[in-house]
Amino acid sequence: MRVVFLSPAYPPEMVEYARGLAEVGAEVYGVADTPRDQLPAAVRPYLRDYLHVPRIMDEVDVMDRVSAWLRGRSIDRVLANWEPMVELAARLRERWGMPGMSYDTARGFRDKQLMKERVAAAGLRVPRSRRVHTAHEARAAAEEIGYPLILKPIAGAGSADTFRVDSQGELDAAIRSLVGVPVVSCEEYIDGQEYTFDTLCIAGKPVVESVMAYFPKPLEMRMHEWVSPIGITVRDMEQESLQGGITLGRQVLSALGMGDGFTHMEWFLTSSGEAVFGEIGARPGGAKIVDQMNYTCDVDLFREWARVACYQSFEGHAERKYNTAVIFKRAQGHGRITRIDGLTEWLRACGPWVVEERLLRPGALRRDWKQTLLSDGWLVVRHPEWNEALQMAQAAASKIRIYAQ
């Protein structure tokens, strides 16, 4: 099994997917814009060969270079797990007549307005939305949809460059902030608890399903630097409040023509109990979500994804044993980390339930919290009881402090 894997080392978790491919017997041919001599040492053992391209986002140039590089060699799969590469992977499959997700299907998972139109056409509840190209179109859409509303890139990922807008003045400010974004989605704001629906699918049918709850909502995480974002996977998938979202997620997979691989969906549970679609990507969730799923079930989904992608086979045992929380920390101040308060006490109190502690240490330069949700490090804790996991996560969020200057 020979596999072209786009961007095998960025974002950093892609190294784990390259490992998974190698461990299920695939020959991995990596393609990215990282010079060969700058590839992380961790990924090199998993690559049979590697092509450095000057501009990974230049689809036409990359397709020509990869086709020339591989001329005379047979390839069985083209795979990508980073959001911006999903359409390029589909274009390469179609150019080479290879099985896998088509470009049209990939567009449905990538273009947020087309996505909502296809999901709505299946009779499912989506936020009212419009595709806008100009400030004039944005103002007209806002008048039609009404405030509050959400303005975000049509092909964005997560909540980057996403704005809640409550007035004409805020709309004008958001338009100015998105001046470099050519196409924007203007959509109805849904007030409700926000969850994910994450799957690993074979032929569009989940072999693994997972739900994660956000504390607070992702948009609030992006707006306030002082927040320590928390995400908790739900052990008990049978609870009644989640059934609408799980059913919605399965129907969305069918509506968008999902094939093999990971999906990551956001959905809302309103105060009336209605499940409302948010958006979905044909790729794994970022920000440690797959790690959380692994800790929840004691499984290796990096490897099982590779088995699914290569052989349409799943051999993992995905019994849900724990509620798993990840807590991302942001330092107070600027410059280098000077101290961490409360960590020793928290570790002592949580004991064996802590499975990862990856906070930056004194002397390290703090990260730009607006550019990475991983921020200045993270903690992972798990527990069979939901309330216990939540309380430990909230304690980490409120009692651990990182300082920089």
Element (H, E) at 313: none
Query: Are the C-beta atoms of residues 108 and 118 closer than 8 Å to each other?
Result: yes
Within this chain, domains 128-188 and 191-320 share the same CATH topology:
no
Q: What is the mean pLDDT of each run of 10 residues along the chain (405 residues)?
A: 97 97 98 97 97 97 97 95 97 95 97 95 94 89 91 70 87 86 89 96 98 91 89 97 97 98 97 95 96 98 98 94 98 95 97 97 93 91 98 98 96
Give the per-residue pLDDT at 213: 97
Give the per-residue pLDDT at 371: 83
Torsion sign (Cα): 59, 61, 64, 66: negative
Which CATH number does the domain 2-100 belong to among 1.10.10.10, 3.40.50.620, 3.30.830.10, 3.40.50.20? 3.40.50.20
Buried b (16+ CB within 10 A) or exposed e, 88-115: bbbbbbbeeeeebbebebbbbbbbbbbb
Give the per-residue pLDDT at 156: 63
What's domain 128-188's architecture? 2-Layer Sandwich (3.30)
pTM of the predicted model, to two decimals? 0.91
Give the per-residue pLDDT at 162: 85
* Nearest residue to 131 (alpha-carbon basis) of 147, 111, 149: 111
188-243, pLDDT tens digit by residue?
A: 999 999 999 999 999 999 999 999 999 998 888 888 889 999 999 999 999 999 99
CATH 3.40.30.10 fits 191-320, yes or no: no
Percent of the chain scoring above 90 in pLDDT: 82
Give the per-residue pLDDT at 159: 56
Question: How wide is the angle at C-alpha 112 spanned by C-alphas 106 and 118, nearest 5°?
Answer: 70
- The domain limits of the chain are 2-100, 128-188, 191-320, 322-405
DSSP reduced 3-state for 291: helix
Give the per-residue pLDDT at 160: 64
